């Protein structure tokens, strides 16, 4: 590297790049609870030490969609500590800020707010962990944005078409166009790219003078046919892509030879799963941009807990033991003990001279016991390393090679252990498991009314966001809509009903109509939860019950059946009276819930053709249907209207400043600069000279 005087001048942008901080991950763990907070503090301190112009976060700042009070408090404290001050911000914003920051009622960058004193602005997109939810489409980052600590950009409100408008910055003679796209379900975004429904706007004037930086948070590696975003989908005028969501640290920029741009993948700053991708050393990047040239410096993180993982195949150690060896299980356990001890000693050697690194490392030994070997007691084995490692409960992970799948011929007697085998599934999402299950059982136990995407989304809402009515509401919604469809088609025979249902299901599979139906069902589930008064999942700082729900793993206790008094008179009697009243109100609520559940379960498609007076109705439903005046539109009539608080864009500025670039454009005439890859001897020069394409 050259001297700082030649690197950091009035024309050079200095940007600290980090992704997937996952603040609050395992915050209640006695050993690992403070890891994410310590690492965020190190990242912010690094930004202040290097006097960066701004910080760019690539999504998943928070690990949970509804972060706890401690998590929010720690984040706000560190942002205020490191990002506020008297140091002037030396770059200007040239774009329409009402379009760039459209998720807040204060649509301007925070350092230009006269009521705030910002020295290091933070620009962030949202990830899949802290994604917007609810009718208002708000996420945890919007709380930081409303408080003036973070500039949230890259939020697309439309599910039909996406227009990405850049944040245009200028420092001296250097012009930087910052593009951002928050997390969107990969299948939907993949389909929108294929259908040319993603457009990136470019300045009309001096297009070749802008350095184009794009932050995205999607799957980069292929998890399925459409469950990822290929790099070739991105426009070719981009110079550098900051790719979030992938946790493996591949921060050194790699060149895409087809689109001729560079991609950097900073990875996560904490190991959220014990998989090989998390074992790479964690870094953040210091990006310098001057004109159309760039340089990315890797900065290792010192507060990240060490993680060592190793795979062992027992069949490869025939010289030590075989399945027929006497006391083979004891010998395998001793062999694994030696391997774990060896990894712990290696971690201790690496930690010497680095006092910021946590003392206890993460250790994972994956043991392949295929070939007739038996497993040993992992709980007893883990007790030997309680004082040595940070994850004593899951040191050993037994895996078995996938065997050939057998044909399933009997729908009743299905061996589900053969449909989904016990293999390593670190990193898989709930909807991926649902989809894999139905792909494995395509002929026998396939869904006939619901779709795999809908069921996967409902289960994800139930597991991740505790929407207890998500699955029930999806089934109820699809059942009601299918009944109305069959009534409109005047289908009567059972065979025709099955055919029409299959045709309806196939027609809306993987379409926008299916996504809207899923969203409507999830909104209804949330509405019913609010009707019951179960609002503990919503963030309300003024509510003590919400505090308990966020900060404790224990469920809320039911009201006591007796008061505080022990006797039968005086205050004890009053306490008993209140307890009795409280206990008497709960069975009524359960009765209503049981009534609704019974009504839902008693309905079927054939009952749709009964007389309206004989057909059971859903409790609380506000719409009734009559067979003689039923008029149904085939379009999605149940799409709810979502309202957003969005500042009005400056139409004149947008129309005169940008040109549209299709997501599938292969034009090279407007492409930005290519980077000089001619010789490694230029490594000392952080700014590689431009070369002609």
Under 8 Å CB-to-CB from 610, ≥6 apart: which residues? none
129 carries an active-site annotation: yes
> Dihedral, CA atoms, 69, 75, 78, 81, nearest 10 degrees?
-70
Residue that the structure tokens 């894999």 belong to? 436
Residue 462: how many other CB atoms lie within 10 Å? 18
Angle (CA) 566-567-570 rounded to 5° is: 110
Distance CA 230, CA 219 (A): 9
CA atoms within 13 A on the CB side of 343: 25
Helices (H), 352-426: 378-382, 416-419
Collapsing DSSP states into helix, strand and coil, what is residue 343?
helix
Residue that the structure tokens 């009035």 belong to? 10
Distance CA 485, CA 325 (A): 65
For residue 388, what is the DSSP state?
T
Residue that the structure tokens 């009053």 belong to? 574
**Short-list 304, 315, 10, 39, CA closest to 174:** 10
- Integer CA distances (angstroms), 372 to 312, 368, 396, 400, in order: 15, 11, 18, 10
Catalytic residue, candidates 22, 126, 129, 245: 129
Asked whether the beta carbons of 68 and 25 are under 8 A apart, the reply is: no
Distance CA 628, CA 405 (A): 52
**Short-list 35, 15, 643, 63, CA closest to 360:** 35
Q: What is the total residue count of the chain? A: 693
Sign, CA torsion 501/504/506/512: negative
3-state helix, strand, coil in the chain (%, to 5): 35, 15, 50
For residue 485, what is the DSSP state?
H
| Residue 596 backbone dihedrals phi, psi, to 5 degrees | -65, -45
Q: What is the residue-wise DSSP string for 204-252?
A: SS-GGGEEEEEEEES--S-SSSSSS--GGGS-TT-SEEEEES--S-EEE
Catalytic residue set: 129
């Amino acid at each position: 590297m050259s001297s700082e005087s030649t690197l950091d001048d009035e024309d050079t942008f200095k940007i600290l790049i980090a992704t997937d901080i996952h603040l609050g991950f395992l915050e209640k763990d006695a050993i690992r609870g403070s890891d994410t907070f310590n690492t965020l503090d190190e990242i912010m301190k690094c930004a202040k030490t290097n006097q960066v112009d701004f910080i760019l976060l690539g999504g998943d700042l928070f690990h949970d969609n509804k972060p706890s009070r401690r998590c929010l408090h720690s984040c706000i404290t560190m942002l205020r500590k490191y990002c506020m001050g008297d140091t002037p911000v030396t770059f200007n914003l040239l774009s329409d800020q009402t379009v760039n920051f459209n998720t807040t009622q204060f649509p301007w960058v925070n350092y230009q707010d006269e009521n705030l004193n910002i020295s290091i602005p933070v620009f962030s997109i949202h990830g899949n962990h802290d994604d917007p939810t609810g009718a208002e489409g708000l996420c945890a980052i919007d709380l930081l944005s409303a408080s003036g600590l973070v500039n949230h950009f890259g939020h697309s409100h439309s599910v039909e078409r996406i227009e990405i408008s850049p944040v245009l910055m200028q420092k001296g003679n250097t012009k930087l166009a910052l593009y951002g796209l928050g997390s969107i379900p990969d299948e939907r975004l993949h389909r929108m790219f294929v259908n040319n429904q993603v457009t990136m706007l470019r300045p009309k004037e001096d297009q070749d003078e802008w350095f184009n930086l794009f932050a995205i948070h999607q799957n980069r590696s292929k998890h399925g046919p459409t469950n990822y975003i290929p790099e070739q989908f991105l426009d070719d005028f981009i110079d550098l892509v900051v790719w979030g969501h992938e946790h493996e640290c591949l921060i050194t920029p790699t060149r895409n030879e087809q689109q001729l741009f560079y991609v950097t993948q900073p990875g996560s700053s904490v190991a959220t799963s014990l998989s090989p991708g998390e074992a790479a050393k964690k870094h953040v990047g210091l990006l310098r941009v001057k004109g159309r040239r760039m340089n990315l410096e890797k900065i290792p993180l010192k507060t990240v807990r060490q993680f060592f993982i190793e795979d062992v195949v027992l069949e490869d150690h025939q010289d030590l033991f075989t399945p027929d060896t006497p006391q083979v299980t004891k010998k395998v356990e001793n062999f694994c003990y030696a391997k774990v001890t060896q990894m712990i000693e290696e971690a201790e050697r690496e930690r010497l001279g680095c006092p910021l690194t946590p003392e206890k490392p993460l250790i994972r030994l994956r043991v392949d016991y295929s070939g007739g070997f038996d497993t040993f007691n992992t709980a007893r084995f883990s007790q030997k390393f309680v004082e040595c490692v940070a994850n004593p409960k899951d040191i050993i992970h037994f895996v078995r090679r996938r065997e050939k799948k057998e044909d399933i011929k009997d729908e009743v007697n299905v061996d589900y252990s053969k449909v989904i085998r016990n293999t390593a599934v670190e990193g898989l999402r709930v909807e991926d498991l649902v989809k894999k299950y139905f792909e494995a059982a395509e002929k026998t136990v396939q869904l006939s009314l619901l779709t795999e995407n809908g069921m996967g989304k409902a289960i994800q809402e139930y597991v991740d966001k505790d929407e207890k009515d998500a699955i029930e509401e999806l089934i109820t919604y699809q059942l009601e809509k299918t009944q109305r469809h069959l009534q409109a088609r005047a289908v009567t025979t059972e065979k025709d009903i099955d055919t029409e249902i299959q045709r309806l299901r196939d027609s809306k599979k993987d379409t926008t109509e299916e996504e809207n139906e899923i969203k409507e069902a999830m909104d209804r589930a949330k509405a019913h939860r609010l009707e019951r008064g179960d609002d503990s999942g919503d963030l309300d700082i003024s509510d003590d019950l919400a505090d308990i729900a966020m900060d404790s793993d224990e469920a809320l206790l039911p009201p006591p059946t007796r008061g505080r008094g022990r006797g039968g008179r005086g205050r004890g009697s009053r306490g008993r009276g209140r307890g009795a009243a409280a206990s008497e109100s709960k069975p009524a609520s359960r009765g209503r819930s049981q009534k609704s559940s019974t009504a839902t379960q008693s309905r079927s498609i054939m009952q749709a053709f009964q007389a309206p007076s004989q057909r059971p109705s859903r409790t609380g439903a506000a719409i009734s249907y009559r067979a003689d005046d039923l008029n149904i539109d085939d379009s999605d009539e149940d799409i709810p209207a979502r309202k957003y608080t969005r500042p009005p864009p400056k139409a004149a500025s947008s129309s005169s400043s940008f040109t549209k670039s299709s997501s599938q454009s292969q034009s090279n005439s407007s492409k930005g600069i290519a980077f000089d890859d001619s010789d490694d001897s230029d490594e000392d020069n952080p700014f590689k000279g431009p070369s002609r394409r």
